[in-house]
């Protein structure tokens, strides 16, 4: 049995040791890979549309770097009706979802044109961020694209979207340049990654 005795100056060493032991246990259960074992990455289906469109709406609406008008438009572009159309067009669109216990906690959606893939949107539910989910999702996409003959991915980020800029740099994307006063009169960086 662990007994707690306050150490010198009232510092509780036994409690600290117990906390460290607990942290080691959590790490063992969750695993050391970036994506916890309970999460799965798969292609989205039409059945996912209601949950997916809700999540996309929430994430897009909470983006601090988009103007209100831009958010409204982007949410409209990813409502249930639009998503059904995109998901039905398998030749052009690709949409992956990350699930945890049947719940969608992340997505990546974009379109393929003549071997060049434009990544439209990537989003991870707020409470699941900073666990390596987006990184795993993007890597999975690349794996799939290579098999499908996609030779290049490109995308944009708002210049102020530090999280995405950092993610793309980590994944080896090359900044093509600044596209200022672009969509919705906002500033963007354009990026590319050659797969083949």
Element (H, E) at 124: strand 116-124
- Of 15 and 57, nearer to ligand COA (C-beta) is 57
Q: What are phi and psi of 164, to 5 degrees?
A: -70, -40
| Interface pick for ligand COA out of 134, 145, 150, 153 (rule CB under 6 A) | 134
- Of 135 and 187, nearer to ligand COA (C-beta) is 135
CB of 33 to ligand COA, least distance (A): 12
Q: How far is CA 125 from CA 53, 119, 133, 183, 189, in A?
A: 13, 18, 10, 24, 23
Contact pattern for ligand COA over residues 59 through 98, marking x by CB under 6 A = x---x-----------------------------------
Query: What's the token pair of residue 21?
Result: 């032991």
Three-class SS of residue 160?
Answer: coil
- Of 145 and 164, nearer to ligand COA (C-beta) is 164
Burial class from Cβ neighbours inside 10 Å (0-12, 13-18, 19+) for residue 170 reads: exposed
Residues 135-174 that bind ligand COA (CB under 6 A): 135, 157, 161-164, 166-167, 170
Of the ranges 4-12, 42-50, 120-128, 179-187, which one interacts with ligand COA (CB under 6 A)?
120-128
Of the ranges 22-30, 41-49, 124-132, 174-182, which one interacts with ligand COA (CB under 6 A)?
124-132
Q: Is residue 53 at the binding interface for ligand COA, with CB under 6 A as the rule?
A: no
CA angle 144, 150, 151 (to 5 degrees): 125
CB of 47 to ligand COA, least distance (A): 23
| Count of residues engaged in binding ligand COA, rule: CB under 6 A | 20
Q: Where are the alpha helices (DSSP H) in 109-189?
A: 133-148, 162-170
Number of Cβ within a 10 Å radius of residue 118: 13
Query: What's the token pair of residue 186?
Result: 């906002």
CB of 181 to ligand COA, least distance (A): 18
Can you give the binding site for ligand COA, defined by CB under 6 A?
A: 59, 63, 122-124, 129-135, 157, 161-164, 166-167, 170
């Amino acid at each position: 049995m662990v007994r707690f005795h306050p150490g010198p100056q009232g510092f509780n060493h036994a409690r600290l040791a117990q906390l460290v032991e607990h942290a080691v246990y959590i790490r063992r259960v969750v695993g050391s890979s970036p994506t916890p074992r309970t999460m799965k990455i798969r292609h989205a289906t039409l059945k996912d549309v209601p949950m997916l469109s809700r999540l996309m709406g929430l994430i897009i609406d909470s983006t601090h770097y988009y103007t209100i008008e831009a958010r409204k438009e982007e949410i409209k572009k990813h409502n249930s009706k639009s998503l059904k159309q995109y998901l039905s067009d398998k030749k052009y669109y690709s949409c992956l979802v990350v699930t945890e216990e049947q719940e969608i906690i992340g997505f990546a959606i974009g379109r393929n044109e003549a071997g060049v893939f434009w990544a439209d949107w990537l989003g991870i539910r707020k409470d699941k961020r900073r666990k390596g989910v987006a990184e795993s999702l993007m890597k999975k996409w690349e794996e799939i694209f290579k098999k499908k003959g996609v030779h290049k991915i490109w995308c944009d980020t708002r210049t102020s979207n530090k999280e995405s800029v950092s993610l793309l740099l980590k994944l080896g994307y090359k900044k093509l340049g600044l596209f200022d006063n672009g969509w919705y009169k906002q500033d963007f960086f354009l990026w590319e990654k050659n797969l083949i």
